[in-house]
Amino acid sequence: MKPSVILYKILPDDLLARLEQHFTVTQFNRLTAENRPAFLQALEHAEGLIGSGGQIDKAVLDLAPKLRAVSTISVGYDNFDVNAMTERGIVMMHTPTVLTETVADTVMALILSTARRVVEVANWAKSGQWKGSVGSDLFGLDVHHKTIGILGMGRIGLALAQRANLGFNMPVLYNDRQANPAVESRFNARFCDLDTLLSESDFLCISLPLTPQTHHLIGKDQLKKMKPNAILINTGRGPVIDEAALIEALKAGTIHGAGLDVYEKEPLAPDSELFRLPNVVALPHIGSATHETRYNMSACAVDNLITALTGTVEVNCVNAQVLAK
Ligand code: 8YV
Q: What is the pLDDT of residues 100-134, one digit of tens each?
A: 999 999 999 999 999 999 999 999 999 999 999 99
Question: Which of 171, 50, 39, 156 lies closest to 106, judged by CA?
Answer: 156
Q: What is the pLDDT of residues 186-228, one digit of tens each?
A: 898 999 999 999 999 999 999 999 999 999 999 999 999 999 9
Within 13 Å, how many C-alpha atoms sit on residue 215's CB side? 5
What superfamily does domain 99-282 belong to in CATH? Answer: NAD(P)-binding Rossmann-like Domain (3.40.50.720)
Closest residue by Cα to atom 5, ligand 1, is 74
Q: Note whether 254 and 230 are within 8 A (CB).
A: no
Catalytic site residue 184? Answer: no
This prediction's pTM: 0.94
- Residue 69 phi, psi dihedral angles, 5° rounding: -150, 140
Q: Is the pLDDT of residue 278 over 60?
A: yes
The pLDDT value given to residue 315: 57
Domain borders along the chain are 4-97+291-322, 99-282
Q: What is the pLDDT of residues 30-70, one digit of tens each?
A: 999 999 999 999 999 999 999 998 899 999 999 999 999 99
Catalytic site residue 155? Answer: no
The pLDDT value given to residue 313: 45
Alpha carbon of 321 to ligand 1 centroid (Å): 23
Query: Matching CATH topology for 4-97+291-322 and 99-282?
Result: yes
Q: How far apart are CA 187 and CA 125, in angstroms?
A: 37
Fold that domain 4-97+291-322 belongs to in CATH: Rossmann fold (3.40.50)
Give residue 324's pLDDT band: very low, low, confident or very high (50, 70, 90). Answer: very low
The pLDDT value given to residue 311: 78
The pLDDT value given to residue 323: 52
Alpha carbon of 75 to ligand 1 centroid (Å): 6
Average confidence (pLDDT) over 247-257: 98
Closest residue by Cα to atom 3, ligand 1, is 74
Q: Is the pLDDT of residue 292 over 80?
A: yes
**Sign for the pseudo-dihedral over CA of 157, 158, 163, 164:** positive
Q: What is the pLDDT of residues 139-197, one digit of tens each?
A: 999 999 999 999 999 999 999 999 999 999 999 999 999 998 888 888 989 999 999 99
CA 133 vs CA 112, 136, 138, 139, 143: distances in Å: 21, 10, 10, 11, 22
Q: What is the mean pLDDT of the chain?
A: 95
Q: How far apart are CA 27 and CA 6, in angstroms?
A: 6
The pLDDT value given to residue 8: 97
